[in-house]
Amino acid sequence: MRRKYRRRSVFPLALAALLLLSGAAGGLYYHQMGPRKQALFERAAYYRELAAGEAAWLSSIQLENGAIPFRGETHGEASITPYFSDIAAWGLLEGGEYRAVRDYIQWHMAHLNDAVSDYSGIAGTIYDYTIEVDDGKVVSEKSERHYDSVDSYAATFLILISEYCQRTGDEALFRQYQDQVLLVLGAMERTIDRDGLSFTKPDYLVKYLMDNAEVYAALGCVESLLERYPVPDGERILTWLRQRRTSLNERLEALLWNQGERRYETGADAKGRTLAFGGWQEFYPDATAQLFPILFGLLEPASQRAQEIYQRFCREHAWQEMEHYATGNASFYWGLVAYAGAKMGDEERVYQYMEYYRRRVLPDRDYPLYCGDAGWIILACGEMARWCETEMERIDPLGLVQVQ
């Protein structure tokens, strides 16, 4: 027999809230929740302000043709490494600088190789470039026909254009370049070997954990993009993307997860032999590579494995104090570590890192700050600001405590 339930009125909840805020009970509620919520509000604003400043800096160094250089240059040669430029553009996207991201995407698309111009005969790749700048104006571009990788360069750009189109709804841009998007996807596909892992490039058949984590994320991003904006033969492509992503996850687990030592191998060579692990004390690549499955969605932050890996990394490296940079164990600031901390909800360490960055890096923005690190900083700040806002909702779900 079915029981009949009456729909509950919201009036008792409102009445309870009013009673809660009256007298001693209200005072206790404010005493307990007010300071914490105010602190979270101020911390979220801190992260938003820091992110806005970095987005403004990246916009200021972007060249008039849309390219994002390694560092700003008004007179002389500006170095363009598309992998780092992609990450900088991720940061610009997080910062709401959509026009700057669109301009960069158009520059990138205009510089894709076809099968003739690519030295390995792979369409959809892109070379590193050097751009001559005079008084802030682009004079010329040249390339030595070199790229560090095919798999990572393709993956990071596919993540960018997918996230840009999803966030802005700019279908016109996607339709303008949908053939090129599929070319880049094809270039990435060309790097996936028989064992299911991607290699760096045809003349360097090393299969890095970091690159494969990026490829995994890119497959998911393109899947979401093509579900939203169908293309010819789209169902076949979507089926391939889903199968390849599942397979990559399984192969990474089978080939690169070291169950005995509770860590990932940093990669494998062309014969499937795992690369020598230098130890957790080696900041890069050995230790930082462990964070890439967290950064790119192979591991959920709440999972036991993610927690173990992250805590081990933190025990080995006081990254929040920039120990890796101060001791010479790394040549850069490694903002991606702060982003990993943000994804793990480690507000204390992220804040320490950002304070170091704010006090010692931002006043002059001297080298070794570069575009990719600034992009990671923006991503970390955006993630941390959202964490603070979620915490505010958690501790005061009815929104009774006002903050400003």
* 8 Å CB contact between 157 and 164: no
Residue 109's pLDDT is 99
130-157 pLDDT per residue, tens:
999 999 899 999 999 999 999 999 999 9
Token code pair at residue 364: 């002059």
Residue 11's pLDDT is 53
Residue 220's pLDDT is 98
Q: 307 Cβ partners below 8 Å, 6+ apart? A: 301, 344
Residue 258, SS3 per DSSP: strand
- Rounded CA-CA distance 42/62 in Å is 31
- Rounded CA-CA distance 80/28 in Å is 57
Query: CA dihedral in degrees (358, 363, 368, 369; nearest 10)?
Result: 60
275-322 pLDDT per residue, tens:
999 999 999 999 999 999 999 999 999 999 999 999 999 999 999 999
Mean pLDDT value across residues 162-179: 98
Going from N- to C-terminal start, the domains of the chain cover 299-391
* 8 Å CB contact between 270 and 199: yes
Q: In 10 A of CB 278, how many CB atoms?
A: 13
* 8 Å CB contact between 216 and 297: yes
DSSP state of 193: -
Three-point CA angle 261, 265, 270, nearest 5°: 145
Three-point CA angle 338, 366, 93, nearest 5°: 50
User: Is residue 372 within a helix (H) or strand (E), and if so which, with residue range?
Assistant: helix 371-395
Confidence of residue 329 (pLDDT cuts 50, 70, 90): confident
- Rounded CA-CA distance 377/233 in Å is 38
* 8 Å CB contact between 306 and 294: yes
Locate tokens 């007010």: which residue? 34
Least confident of 8-12, 129-133, 165-169: 8-12
Residue at 199: amino acid letter: F
CA distances from 314 to 283, 290, 304 (A): 11, 12, 15
Phi-psi region of 121 (alpha: psi -120 to 50; beta: other; left: phi over 0): left
pLDDT cut 70: percent of the chain above it: 92
Q: Would you say residue 5 has pLDDT above 80?
A: no
Residue 17's pLDDT is 54
Positive or negative, the CA dihedral 63, 173, 381, 336 is negative
Q: How far apart are the first and last CA of the chain?
A: 53
- Rounded CA-CA distance 131/128 in Å is 10
Phi, psi of 181 (to 5 degrees): -60, -45
Closest CA to 111 of 147, 165, 164: 147
Whole-prediction pTM value? 0.92
Residue 2's pLDDT is 37
Confidence of residue 4 (pLDDT cuts 50, 70, 90): very low
Residue 326's pLDDT is 86
Mean pLDDT of the chain: 93
* 8 Å CB contact between 398 and 16: no
Locate tokens 């230098």: which residue? 278
Closest CA to 82 of 154, 142, 139: 154
Residue 378's pLDDT is 99
* Helices 347-356/335-343 angle, 10° precision: 160
Q: Would you say residue 18 has pLDDT above 90?
A: no
* 8 Å CB contact between 270 and 195: no
Residue 23's pLDDT is 56
- Rounded CA-CA distance 215/219 in Å is 6
346-366 pLDDT per residue, tens:
999 999 999 999 999 999 999
- Rounded CA-CA distance 108/81 in Å is 11
- Rounded CA-CA distance 68/88 in Å is 8
- Rounded CA-CA distance 338/380 in Å is 6
- Rounded CA-CA distance 232/404 in Å is 51
Q: In 10 A of CB 41, how many CB atoms?
A: 17
